[in-house]
Amino acid sequence: GSARQAFERRGSGRRMGSAAGSDDWNELAEILKDIKDEYPDDENMIVVPDSYTRYEIIVRAMDIGRRLN
């Protein structure tokens, strides 16, 4: 399995919008940490925003992923 499949298996197809609270960001960090633990050699994270996603949300998601390395 791939890291992407692992992410999808954890049921996190949930959308994170501009109203995302700290619990949402903490959950994202935990999910990404679990995936990183499962796939320690993978160093890439692909963020696929929709056309309505604010830049700040994309950057925050990337920052959370970057802190895992």
Q: Which residue has the higher pLDDT, 44 or 7?
A: 44
pLDDT of 20 reads 57
Burial of 9 (0-12, 13-18, 19+ CB in 10 A): exposed
pLDDT of 17 reads 52
pLDDT of 4 reads 54
pLDDT of 27 reads 82
State how far the Cα of 7 lies from the Cα of 9, in Å rounded to an integer: 5
pLDDT of 63 reads 92
State how far the Cα of 15 lies from the Cα of 35, in Å rounded to an integer: 18
Could you read off the pLDDT of 25-69 as tens digits, one per residue? Answer: 888 888 888 888 888 888 888 888 888 888 888 898 889 989 887
State how far the Cα of 25 lies from the Cα of 61, in Å rounded to an integer: 8
The position carrying tokens 């993978």 is 42
